A and B are shown apart, each in its own frame.
Chain A
Amino acid sequence: MKHKSRVRKASFLIPFLLALFLPLYAYVGPGAGFAFLSSFLILFLTFFLAVFSILTWPFRLLFKAIKGQKAYKKSLIQKLIIIGLDGMEPTLVEKFMSEGKLQNLSKIKNTGTYARLQTTTPAISPVAWSSFMTGSNPSKHNIFDFLSRDTKTYLPDLSSARIGKPKKYLSFGKYNIPLSKPEIKGLRKSIPFWKILGKQGIFSTILRVPITFPPEKFSGHLLSGMCAPDLKGSQGTFFFYTSDKDKIKKREGGINIPVDITNGKIKTYISGPENNLLKKEKELRLPLTMTIHEDKNSVELEVSGQKFNLKKNSFSDWIKLTFRPGLGMKIRAICRFYISQIHPHFEMYLTPLNIDPEKPALPISHPFIYSVYLSKLRGSFITLGEANDTWALNEGALSEEAFLELTYSNHKEWEDMMFNAINKTRKGLVTCVFETTDSIQHMFWRYLDNAHPALRSGQTKMSPQVIEELYSKMDTLVGKVLEKLDDHSALIIMSDHGFKSFRRGVNLNSWLYLEGYLSLKDGKKKSEEWFKDVDWNKTKVYALGLGGIYINQKSRETHGIVNPDQETKALKKELLEKLDGLKDEDKDSVAINKVFDRDELPPGPYIDNCPDLVVGYNEGYRVSWDSVTGKVNETVFEDNTKAWSGDHCIDPRIVPGIFFSTQKINTANPSIIDIAPTVLELFGLDVPSHMDGQALINTQEDSSLKKNKQRKKENEPRKSKRLH
């Protein structure tokens, strides 16, 4: 060792000593040039930017003053942090707090506020978070579910965004060269509160809030969350590679790729996006070669010009992939590999192909360079909206342990981003939504429910401890944020809805079929996915999405048969009477608490896009998996045996969210639509009239807050605007 060290020292010393004897010009070679030229440029640029920032600083302040921005003039606080813990359940929070397990949240409850937070109808994340950011009911922001329906085809569409193809092309050989950008259109309406803040010069960083894809322009930074697609344009398509022919089956949300092992090698591919550059579109594929080292329990993977080893039962880092559709174009993606089995059969999970934040194929942040900045600062990170791969666990492509590892790894990335934003925000707003809580509860709730049918099938290695640990980790996160607060800062912790067990599924389409509202084609007793065998010319009602019932209305649906006015009203009344309190005879239990008529919901310009009826299921029930995808048969109630065992798409009154605040509030019944007005109030801005919610700040109880100018009339007027 000593000898090696001496040799190493000498190898550095000799050239150095030699260099001392040489004329200066001898050093100035290209090797030195590489390093010193780059360094010099960086130094020059840094110096230039420093001078530029300092010199332009007063002018920027002046410009703001001229623009009439009144940032922080009447503001009660300098900095506000909002942490969204998607789906955090109040009964669990209250239980754990009473057991002394959530000390940081308890601290906020004791010194500030804790309350249950009314959610939206329906209680679904995209709906609730859209109401959170706009302060409006769904009829004003146009998001009523994950899915909306195409009235021409009766097929589902993504409710939040539409990604179209470029409108103009240049035909060149086998290529169609796009001459315009593809249409990427956000379908959420109304104005998020951070846009209003930005207009008054209050800077915001918005991280991973659902329904922020495509990102809108405003004065601040935004990284899109739920509903940002993967590179295949889906909401997350995972891949499962296996040499076990028995395991080749349809996997919801994923693609099976069978592989053969020849002499310890597997030659396969990664299935990429469609090549839109070709006239005859074709899937882009990347060759993937794997060499199995059984002795080392590892596999060497070779893909996209990279070679790396991966041990069994561990995730790879983010691997960059480059797809080449032709004409020198490149489409970048990032993904992670996980080998779950080598012997007797090879099994590997591959995450959905995430848009590479360093070179995004679609805009996922505002400004565009924000995701580039984050990627360069901390390395690649997950960009897919539905980040945690619940389908992979549901469909057996990932084990429970692997799912948790992946989910917490994603969570760590978001935490890092949030603290980076908090550290850089002296004044302004930082909002970050963590979907960790939602995903883990969806997939592990059955461990809290001894009667859950899923405990009798599938993976059951875990215990209720999983959920308790989740809550404890979130409490630790809150503790770390509390340390960042000063006297001029405020913190809000909230969830968009709560959680309940999902034991039984209700196939509404089957119920409609059995009750004679939905008809199948002649001779059919069931229909495959997406209403394949439904006879629309005889169908009066159908169900789509997580809680919506639609009347097949004339002049609205292509094959509509129900007249819009009186006939529709009468039909809805009939359905309400039958469905309210619908009983699951096998379990002697009520499956549906209440069905909400959209005409009774708060009005707004987009109410026509709302389902005609929204179903509020009882605890333990939810729309069945088959009903969501438009399958029809003769079974109405069925056990839910999937790992996805907890849910919230039920009666909104029984799944409120949580609300913690370092400030006192003026009501015991806050609602998610009140958050946006509260934020504006905290920053001293007027609440626009289009917002349905009301500010929660009670300035009389908290001397640090300014006098409340308006809304002292308490709950009467707001109740009329509320849903419940």
Chain B
Amino acid sequence: MWVFNSIFGKIFEIVFFPFKSMTPWIGMIFISFLTALLMLCVFRFTSHQQGIKQVKNKIKAHLLEIRLFKDSLNVSLRAQGNILRYNLKYIGYSIKPLMVMIIPLILILIQLNLWFGHQSLTPGQEVILKVEVDEDLSLLDTEFLIESSSGLVIETPPLRIEETREVNWKLFAKETGIHELSMTVNGHRIVKKVAVAQKSLNKISPVKVRRNFIDELFHPGEAPLPANHPIKSLEIKYPSNYMSLFGWRIHWLIVYFALSIIFGFALKGVFKVEI
């Protein structure tokens, strides 16, 4: 999985490379545009284009029917019934391309979450490091040796929480840069990267996980820990990122969703795709 994640991740790094020092909006617009193209392609080749066209025409016809027969309540209500019927049929026609799209979309969204989901730390900011450990490991008896590079200070001793099987530290960001945090547990050494005030568009991996298909799928930013490692995961609690538009804070997913739909609808005529 890691090989796939690293290749896929590299592709995104290449895609976003020109936009790293620009406002995240540019990168978001670009990736939304590419996604719209991909989705149009998928729709074009996996959906029943003629069927979609016919169903949409029927829906439009019955909408016009409501206007044309506005004095006939009977016809209007029947037209509304037909609209609902054809709407269901339309959704039915969309299921196949949606199914085909789900896998690539999930992978894209996971990658985008690395780029747009979290803010990097700023110098002077504190952050929690959370380590989840295996059930077999004795939380109180185990020694967690933790070290950091000079730009990062470990402010507190470990806080062990038996109930949730986790250990927490408070970190303090001192200098900008990609810092390394190393931890040794029962002779196993782990290295985790921590980003402090990087460029506008950063790839930030908040969690490093143990080898496991689903966990790796959702946390592809760093190489996984070995499967038999006593630590399940290491997480830096970066603050959530929002995109700002005229002072409004909008979740990146909403922006991505809206932009890719806008691009999709704008380009459907150019590529002659019925959606």
Contacts and interface: CB of A to CB of B under 8 A. Distances in A.
Interface stretch (B55-63, B183-191, B234-242): B55-63
Interface of A: 11-12, 15-16, 18-19, 21-22, 25-39, 42-43, 45-46, 49-50, 53-54, 57, 60, 203, 221, 305, 367, 369-370, 372-374, 376-377, 379, 424, 426
A435 to B, nearest CB: 25
B128 interface: no
B106 A18 contact: yes
Interface string B33-70: 00110010011000000000000011111111111111
A interface majority secondary structure? helix
B214 A37 contact: no
A31 B80 contact: no
Question: Sorted from nearest, which 3 A-B pairs have the closest CB atoms?
Answer: A35-B94, A30-B260, A31-B101
Contact of B71 (A54, A60, A370, A374): A60
Interface in B216-275: 253, 256-257, 260-261, 264-265, 272, 275
Contact of B72 (A30, A43, A367, A426): A426
Contact of A30 (B74, B99, B264): B264
A426 B58 CA distance: 22
A100 to B, nearest CB: 39
Contacts, number: 138
Contacts of A21: 214
Interface stretch (B84-92, B149-157, B161-169): B84-92
B181 interface: no
Nearest to A35: B94
A21 B83 CA distance: 34
Nearest to B83: A46
Contact of B98 (A18, A35, A54, A367): A35
Contacts of A42: 59, 83, 87, 90
A330 to B, nearest CB: 12
Contacts of A376: 57-58, 60-61, 64
A660 B207 CA distance: 85
Q: Which of A30, A54, A203 has the most CB of B within 10 A?
A: A30
B109 interface: yes
Nearest to A424: B75
Interface string B99-115: 11111011011100000
B165 to A, nearest CB: 22
Interface residues of B, number: 57
Contact of A60 (B58, B66, B70, B80): B70
Contacts of B64: 369, 372-373, 376
A45 B76 CA distance: 13
A49 B63 contact: yes
A592 B62 CA distance: 55
A106 to B, nearest CB: 34
Contacts of A426: 72, 74
Given A30-B256, A38-B90, A46-B84, 10 more contacts: A30-B39, A31-B43, A35-B91, A35-B97, A49-B76, A53-B76, A57-B73, A60-B70, A377-B62, A379-B57
Interface in B6-20: none
Contacts of B66: 49, 53
A38 B102 contact: no
B54 to A, nearest CB: 8
A11 B275 CA distance: 22
B70 to A, nearest CB: 7
Contacts of B69: 424
Q: Which of A37, A60, A221, A373 has the most CB of B within 10 A?
A: A373
Given A34-B261, A53-B70, A39 B42 contact: no
Given A26-B109, A370-B68, A373-B61, A33 B257 contact: yes
Contact of B63 (A22, A45, A370): A45
Contact of B77 (A12, A16, A35, A50): A50
A373 B79 CA distance: 12
Contact of B253 (A25, A38, A39, A367): A25
Given A26-B105, A49-B63, A367-B68, A12 B99 contact: yes
16 contacts: A21-B214, A29-B108, A32-B101, A33-B264, A34-B265, A35-B91, A39-B90, A39-B91, A46-B87, A50-B77, A305-B272, A367-B68, A370-B68, A373-B64, A373-B68, A426-B74
A370 B69 CA distance: 11
